[in-house]
Amino acid sequence: MWQVGQLVEKHISEAQENGEFDNLPGSGKRLKLNDDSLVPEALRVVCRFMKNAGFLPPELDLRREAFALHELMAHIASQDEQDAGYSLLNIRLQQARQSKDFLQGRYAPLLYQHLSGDD
């Protein structure tokens, strides 16, 4: 497999030197990757609907909320109120982390068993 990789790299380098990649559509722009190959086929449509609807998993939703609260607290004049807000935010983030660790302990062996093919 290593030799195949070298051969592929050689052909890509030659194509770059010959300018074969210069006039491709979207050249110089970021690629929009919609790679859902890691999502099971039965769930792809549901995941796409949820993504298009703006749904976020609880972990990411809490993170977005934390950034919004951080921005709001920057406009609060009272240092005591800022400290209280940051303390509350810190507690919520710690609670989210604890609940995730609890589930990870329960499901980690099952996930390992599934991925190793010992079903």
CA dist 2 and 60 (Å) reads 39
Concatenating the DSSP letter of every residue in 11-70 gives HHHHHHHTTTTTT-TTTTS-------TTS-GGGHHHHHHHHHTT---HHHHHHHHHHHHH
Closest CA to 71 of 92, 86, 61: 86
Q: What is the pTM of this model?
A: 0.38
Residue 15's pLDDT is what? 92
Q: 30 and 60 in contact (C-beta within 8 Å)?
A: no
Residue 89's pLDDT is what? 78
pLDDT by 10-residue block (mean), the chain, 119 residues = 81 92 83 77 86 80 79 81 81 69 61 69
